[in-house]
A and B are shown apart, each in its own frame.
Chain A
């Protein structure tokens, strides 16, 4: 567990907002260098790591996708001594006022999100949270200095230090979806020491929070036979009722719905049961809201699976997750890959009648 925690803390220490994944990609590359046979950066910034299988060439390939991009803010203009901002990815604006941030200008500047009083906002209502377009970021410079050091389009990332809570719980920004990158890293470590027939393409995808551009283009580039997306899902907590959320620390979720190939779902479930990895079935009636949506529809279509890690306070700077669930996701992924026989694709058909009980 300490290694899992250290890796997670390291991966959220670097900015990597959607479209600007460079800094975090470098950290992931360091973590993957010793456990992959080849590393490459895609044309839109996804990190693609190959771990060769032991089967005879040409081997089938599985793509394991975890997005590494994070949500944050971007400078959209000036308002006196302050900055106007817009979001990168879907930021929950209600929790922003008072947060500390880092403005990545000509140099990194510490800043805070300020909220103008309601009477200064058109149609302002004290009872309602202030809309993103009226929030300001103050870095303590005057208007002239501000214009020299910060330009429109500069990124702003969240600056909270991670909080370790109890033995297994961590809170911090960007846990969506660096926790899954950690899970994938654990799976690669596991698979390094055991025989697996298939080639594994581990992909830390770019731009999931905006357009899924990373997953879409890597799937085209790598042409995998199968794909799995690992992402976070809604953790049970205040305001997240049981029928819409999954408890923290009590296992991963296995996606079920049109995005998910029913036989892959059944296979993951069987393995989870055998290994006594706790899980919940997560119905995904329309889009899954993960890279899987893009992966499934790439090229001629790819049988796809979604595994998720419950997380509280999604898209805020204080996301919360259990380390146990991260490890479970990693172990489940590794086991699925290790068990794939070379001729798996010959046997795979779309069967809906798999048992869900």
Chain B
């Protein structure tokens, strides 16, 4: 699984430009799939299994896209101004490296005049690609880039760019592969959705949920942690198992789905933590309000430094996330109370 994490994380795929990563994921999942669709927004939708008498049509979603930047102006001396694609924080930009989809490398710096005592806003930052004028600048307005950072293992921890949400993509791929290759029984018709444009407003998940019209939806994404020095007041810690989301900044998980996830984890003795995330949300928000409504939950992989180029997860948490997802998908879902 580590090689898959390394491979997927290094492929660039900013929101709206998911071609390369979609192709790579497709190559991995196609041998397992009953059906593969790429829809109008570029979502990769993989169907697996048949709906049995006690089964559900279930949508699982992990987003393909990662945050990035888009060039908005090239000045007379060849410096590139940019805007964020998704939630790009200036604190994580200065001194960073970016790689444009055309292969151009650049470094990010800031207007010295403004000083660094106060955090500069994105419009005080620029990318230096080594050009001297617009004429020799290999980047033009509208070119997009992702943050560059190599893959590293620090003990049990994995650090690289784009773990949000390539780690979720890997968890879905691995769960699908196990279900398929180990010939596991599932009463469900499963739709593994590798969604697009999550970072700019959960766009792919919304349309694919409309297309699939699922009975139940789960997103698999990263969540922040509260285990760093003077960090946010949050109970989730790295290395203590996958987090089962109770709520985040944009969604309340369906309590029946939370109970089902917690009891499944307990039954299979998989460590887990309950998550309350104050800012940010996931594909589950979009799925929940689709059509006449969908009961949803979210399986989160705890991740430090989310939206920085050095996102960090614990490998044990990733393995346990796969175990929990496979356990959830292999068995009947208890009747959701209140359902007809």
Q: Which chain B residues border A20 with CB–CB below 8 Å?
A: 252, 255
Known contacts A44-B293, A220-B291: does B274 contact A152 (CB below 8 Å)? yes
7 tightest CB-CB pairs across the interface, nearest first? A19-B252, A217-B293, A153-B246, A221-B292, A44-B293, A43-B293, A152-B274
Known contacts A43-B293, A153-B247, A213-B289: does B276 contact A133 (CB below 8 Å)? no
Q: Which chain A residues border B232 with CB–CB below 8 Å?
A: 133
Known contacts A19-B255, A210-B252: does B278 contact A86 (CB below 8 Å)? yes
Are B292 and A77 in contact (CB-based, < 8 A)? no
Known contacts A74-B247, A211-B251: does B233 contact A217 (CB below 8 Å)? no
Most buried by B among A43, A44, A88, A221: A43
A13 CB–B CB distance under 8 Å: no
Are A152 and B233 in contact (CB-based, < 8 A)? no
Q: Chain B contact residues: over half helix, strand or loop, or mixed?
A: loop
Interface membership of chain B positions 269-293, coded 1 if the CB is closer than 8 angstroms to chain A and 0 otherwise: 0000111101000000100111111
Interface membership of chain B positions 240-283, coded 1 if the CB is closer than 8 angstroms to chain A and 0 otherwise: 00000011001111110010000000000000011110100000
Docked Cα-Cα span, A214 to B276, in Å, equals 21
Most buried by A among B251, B252, B275: B252
How many whole Å from A337's CB to the nearest CB in chain B?
Answer: 23
How many whole Å from A197's CB to the nearest CB in chain B?
Answer: 26
B103 CB–A CB distance under 8 Å: no
Q: Which chain A residues border B247 with CB–CB below 8 Å?
A: 19, 74, 86, 88, 153
Known contacts A20-B255, A153-B247: does B233 contact A216 (CB below 8 Å)? no
Q: Which chain B residues border A217 with CB–CB below 8 Å?
A: 289-293
Known contacts A22-B338, A43-B294, A43-B295: does B234 contact A77 (CB below 8 Å)? yes
A160 CB–B CB distance under 8 Å: no
Can you list 11 A-B contacts (CB < 8 A)?
A43-B295, A44-B289, A44-B295, A76-B278, A152-B274, A153-B246, A210-B252, A213-B289, A213-B293, A218-B293, A220-B292
Closest to A207 in B: B252
A76 contact from B230, B273, B276, Cβ within 8 A: B276
Are A43 and B255 in contact (CB-based, < 8 A)? no
A84 CB–B CB distance under 8 Å: yes
Interface residue range, chain B: 20 to 34
A115 CB–B CB distance under 8 Å: no
Are B292 and A152 in contact (CB-based, < 8 A)? no
Interface residue range, chain A: 20 to 34
Are A43 and B276 in contact (CB-based, < 8 A)? no
B226 CB–A CB distance under 8 Å: yes
B339 CB–A CB distance under 8 Å: yes
A45 CB–B CB distance under 8 Å: yes
Q: Which chain B residues border A74 with CB–CB below 8 Å?
A: 246-247, 276
Q: How many A-B residue pairs have CB under 8 A?
A: 90
How many whole Å from B235's CB to the nearest CB in chain A?
Answer: 4
B182 CB–A CB distance under 8 Å: no
A290 CB–B CB distance under 8 Å: no
Are A76 and B234 in contact (CB-based, < 8 A)? yes
A4 CB–B CB distance under 8 Å: no
Most buried by A among B276, B293, B340: B293
Q: Which chain B residues border A102 with CB–CB below 8 Å?
A: none
Q: Which chain A residues border B230 with CB–CB below 8 Å?
A: 122
Q: Which chain A residues border B289 with CB–CB below 8 Å?
A: 44, 211-213, 216-217
Q: Which chain B residues border A122 with CB–CB below 8 Å?
A: 230
A40 CB–B CB distance under 8 Å: yes
Q: Which chain A residues border B338 with CB–CB below 8 Å?
A: 22, 41, 45
Q: Which chain A residues border B295 with CB–CB below 8 Å?
A: 43-44
